[in-house]
A and B are shown apart, each in its own frame.
Chain A
C-alpha cells in the first residue's frame, strides 16, 4: 500500500508523437502570435495527398480519394490536392500503390510552385530524396524536359527511385553525388531547387518529425553545408535562371543567414506572391545582432498557426 503511494521512480515518459515547444523558445521574438504558434505545434499535422495527372484525370482520382476518405477536403490553392485527417494513412490505399496519389506535407508543396518549372526546361534538384518534390516538378513539366535529381546519400536513393517509378515519372535522371561538388559541365540549368538538409524543427507536428532542438555545434556545421549548396546551385544556374532555396526549419541561421551569404551582385531575392487564402510571413531582417541583406524580406516563412501546416522557409533567387 505504501509503495503505491510513492511517486513513480521514473516520471512518465512523454509519448513520442506529442510535440512540445520548449526547444522553440528561442524563436519567440520572431513569432507574431506565440500562444497560437504554441497551440498549433502541439496539434497533429493533417495529411495531404495530391492526385497524379500522369496516371489519369485528377477529378476522377479526386472522387476515388473521397470514396476512401469522405472527410477529405480539397486544397483551394493546389489543384488536385486534398487535406486528410491526421489519423488517415493513405500509404495503405490501393490508389497510392498504383501511383494515382502521393502523400506530402502541405507546406512542402510550396517550393515547387515557387520554382515553377516549365515543360522542356533543364532543372536540377540538388537534394532530391525521397523524390516528392522531384515528382511534383516532373508533373508540372508534363514529363518533358530534363530533371537531374541528385542525392548524396545512396541509402536514400531507393526511396527516390521507388517513388518516381510508382508515379510513372520518366524525365528524371537520378544521380548519386555530393551536391557541393557537382561538376560545372553538368550545367547550366534553367532552374535549380536547393531543398537543403536542415535541423527540421518545422516538422515537429509530424508523427515522426523532429521533436528536439538542434545543438549549436551541429547547427553551424549544417549551416556551412547549406551555404555551400546554395552557392553551388547558383553557380550551376544560367544567368537569369531561378534558384529556390527551401528548408523545413525556423532557424534564421539556416534561412536568412544562408541567403545573406550570397553576394547581391550574384543573385537577387525575388518577391513571392502567395495564392489567395494563404498567409505567409516575410523573412526577418536581423537575428542575433547580425543585419542581413535588404531583400531577405522577400523570402517567405510558413508558420504552423497561419495555415495549419508544418514550418517551412522558401526563397526565390534570380541569378544575375
Chain B
C-alpha cells in the first residue's frame, strides 16, 4: 500500500464539539432574550455562548472558557441555555432559576400554593386572557421556579422530573 492511498484512507479530524458564537450571533441571541424576557444584555457581560455542532443546542459558560483540544469528549460547556435551536423563548430551567429574577416580561408570579403546585409539575392558572401563548418564567416566594408553557387558561409546569418536589 502506497503512502498516498494510506493518506486518502485516513479519517478526517472530527469537528469540534462546541463552537463559540460569533459577535453577531451572540448579539442576536441576547437581543431575542431581551425582547422576550426583558433581561438586559449586559447581565451576560461575563458569559460566553457556545453552540453544540451537531445538536445545535446553545450553552452558556464563563467568558474565560476555551475550546478544548481535539480528541476530548466534551459533555457539557457550562449551562445549557437553549435546547431547541431557533426558539429563544424555550430557555432551560437551569437558566430560568439562575437569571429569572432579572426578567421583566413573560413572567408569571405565583403565591405559595402556586409554587408548591408548580414544583410538583402541576399546571397553574394565569390571567393573561385567551390570546396568551408561549413560554413563561414562573416565579414564587422562593424565587424563580422554572419554565412554564401556556396551554389555554393554565400554565403547564415544565420542571424536570428529577427536580420535582412532592408535597410532604
Contact = CB atoms under 8 A, between A and B. Distances in A.
A183 B70 CA distance: 9
Nearest to A148: B68
Contacts of A182: 72
Q: How large is the interface on A (under 10, 10 to 19, 20 to 34, 35 or more residues)?
A: 35 or more
Interface residues of B, number: 33
Contact of B163 (A98, A120, A164, A186): A98
A164 B98 CA distance: 12
Interface string A139-170: 00001111010000000010001101110111
A186 B69 contact: yes
Contacts of B164: 97
Given A166-B163, A168-B79, A144 B62 contact: yes
Nearest to B65: A146
Contact of A171 (B69, B73, B78, B119): B78
Interface centre among A92, A120, A143 (most CB of B within 10 A): A143
B64 interface: yes
A172 B164 CA distance: 24
A175 B73 contact: yes
Given A170-B47, A186-B69, 13 more contacts: A54-B98, A55-B143, A144-B63, A146-B62, A146-B65, A146-B66, A161-B75, A168-B79, A168-B98, A171-B61, A171-B78, A174-B76, A177-B72
Interface of B: 46-47, 60-66, 68-69, 71-80, 94, 97-98, 119, 142-143, 145, 162-165, 168
Task: Name the 3 nearest CB pairs between A and B, nearest first.
Answer: A171-B62, A170-B79, A185-B69
B72 A186 contact: yes
Contacts of B168: 92
A269 B142 CA distance: 45
A175 B69 contact: no
Interface of A: 54-56, 92, 94, 97-100, 120, 122, 143-146, 148, 157, 161-162, 164-166, 168-177, 182-183, 185-186
Contact of A97 (B60, B62, B78, B165): B165
A98 B142 contact: yes
A54 B80 CA distance: 17
A145 B62 contact: yes
A100 B76 CA distance: 22
A174 B74 contact: yes
Contacts of A169: 79
